[in-house]
Amino acid sequence: LRRCLISVDRSLIEKSIPEVKRVLQTKDTFRNVTILSTLENLKSIKPVDVCCVTSHLLTFYRDRVFKDHQETSLEVMRQISSIANSFLYMQKTLEQCQVHNQCQCSQEATNATRTILDNYDQLEASSAALKSLGELDIFLTWIDENHQETSTA
Amino acid sequence: AVPCVSGGLPKPTNITFLSINMKNVLHWNPPEGLRGVEVTYTVQYFIYGQKQWLGASECRSISRTYCDLSAETSDYEHQYYAKVKAIWETKCSEWAETRRFYPFLETQVGPPKVALTAGEKSISIVLTAPKKWQRHPNDDTVSMQQIYSSLKYNVFLYNTKSRRMWSQCIANSTLELSWLEPNTLYCVHVESFVPGPPRLTLPSQKQCISTLEDQMSALKV
């Protein structure tokens, strides 16, 4: 069964994310709470579950994070919308995989996503959204690392 | 430690991590306006997602303005904060803090080792990836290539006769340049490069080597 792999828009990683991260991480004062960064959680995802978790997290960002975030800076808003657009593009790619039955969801994958959503719900929506946007570097790094031909089982 | 009055001193400034091959050293400038005063510093760090600030055991009441936190921040997939305060007699500053530090995305990847071999019209270049910081010299060596599978190299070649520079980005560790001028001094330097967020690069030392004399012209003489 060929693996479902997506690629991340380079300008996203090289420009948009660093700018959004620099601004939003400074505003995130809840340092003892993370949304994605329970690394044991993300690092434990098996290659076969990568597609499902990626799809769930792209949906999480689209339906929760981008909606809950209140932004005052036009420049940051512009960067976030370009991130949102590229997430939509990645999701379209994953939908092709789902059509070809390459995006199975194991219990472990579902649990991992559940943990992330529970982390999100621990905080008030705008704080949780701010923190999730500040953790985009973790999410994009995880996608970059796990959507490569060579990422081993 | 002797309790001090917080805010009695200005904060240290420009606090930042300088990270090369996962050797993560915290640097700062002394507080302004305290020239000639014997200030000491205390450092703490925080693992993002954990519960509390932790003391840096090697950096309590120190007079230098840097603190090696490589051991404390050695899990490069976690993210960290660090803070430092200045102390003088019974007064101390408030904490000066870094922004969130993510070693995996922010460490500078040092230059590779460069080995050159010259032929008549060719130079062969063999590169060895830099090593990750080690806690102890006899710890197992980890290459930065193992951490960054997408590690690439920018190779710069300078012809000292024509004064022309040429460069190429390569993904593997060997490069054969085979259309060069004989009996010519070339200089090479190499930078490591990881696709992703922008990082500072550190070029290798410039190394020069001369291509051999053209055998044909040597025979004609």
**Integer distance in angstroms from the first to the last C-alpha of chain B?**
82
Residue A37 has pLDDT above 80, yes or no: no
Residues of A in contact with B50 (CB under 8 A): 32
**Alpha carbon distances (Å) from B142 to A43, B5, B72, B113:** 19, 45, 18, 15
B193 contact A CB<8A = no
**Residue from B84, B89, B54, B60 nearest B72 by CA:** B54
pLDDT average, residue stretch A18-44: 85
**Alpha carbon distances (Å) from B5 to B37, B84, B91, B95:** 17, 15, 5, 12
- Residues A132-149: pLDDT tens digits? 999 999 998 888 888 766
Residues of B in contact with A29 (CB under 8 A): none
Question: Residues B157, B167: contact at Cβ < 8 Å?
Answer: yes
* Residues A32, B196: C-beta atoms closer than 8 Å: no
The distance from CA B124 to its chain's CA centroid, rounded to whole angstroms, is 26
Bridge partners of B113, per DSSP, are B128
Burial of A106 (0-12, 13-18, 19+ CB in 10 A): middle
Q: Which residue would you say has higher pLDDT here, A152 or A135?
A: A135
Residues of A in contact with B198 (CB under 8 A): 14, 18
Q: SS3 of B168, please?
A: strand
Question: Apex CA B72: angle with CA B66 and CA B77, to 5°?
Answer: 115
B99 contact A CB<8A = yes
pLDDT average, residue stretch B118-131: 96
Exposure of B52 in the CB half-sphere (CA atoms within 13 A): 3
What is the C-alpha to C-alpha distance for residues A138 and A140, in angstroms, rounded to an integer? 6
* Residues B49, A25: C-beta atoms closer than 8 Å: no
Residue B216 has pLDDT above 80, yes or no: no
By C-alpha distance, the chain B residue nearest A152 is B149
Find the CB nearest B197 among A13, A33, A148. Answer: A13
Residue A41 has pLDDT above 60, yes or no: yes
Confidence of residue B2 (pLDDT cuts 50, 70, 90): low
Q: Specify the DSSP element, H or E, that contains A69.
A: none
| Lowest mean pLDDT segment, chosen from A104-108, B38-42, B91-95 | A104-108
pLDDT of residue B220: 59
Cβ atoms within 10 Å, residue B92: 24
Residues of A in contact with B150 (CB under 8 A): 148
Confidence of residue A87 (pLDDT cuts 50, 70, 90): very high
Residues of B in contact with A34 (CB under 8 A): 48-49
* Residues B105, A34: C-beta atoms closer than 8 Å: no
* Residues A13, B51: C-beta atoms closer than 8 Å: no
- Residues B177-208: pLDDT tens digits? 998 999 999 999 999 999 888 898 899 999 99
Confidence of residue A152 (pLDDT cuts 50, 70, 90): very low
pLDDT of residue B35: 78
- Residues B42-78: pLDDT tens digits? 999 999 999 999 999 999 999 999 999 999 999 998 9
Find the CB nearest A37 among B52, B79, B99. Answer: B79
| Lowest mean pLDDT segment, chosen from A116-120, B59-63, B85-89, B215-219 | B215-219
C-alpha distance from A103 to closest chain B C-alpha (Å): 25
**Integer distance in angstroms from the first to the last C-alpha of chain A?**
13
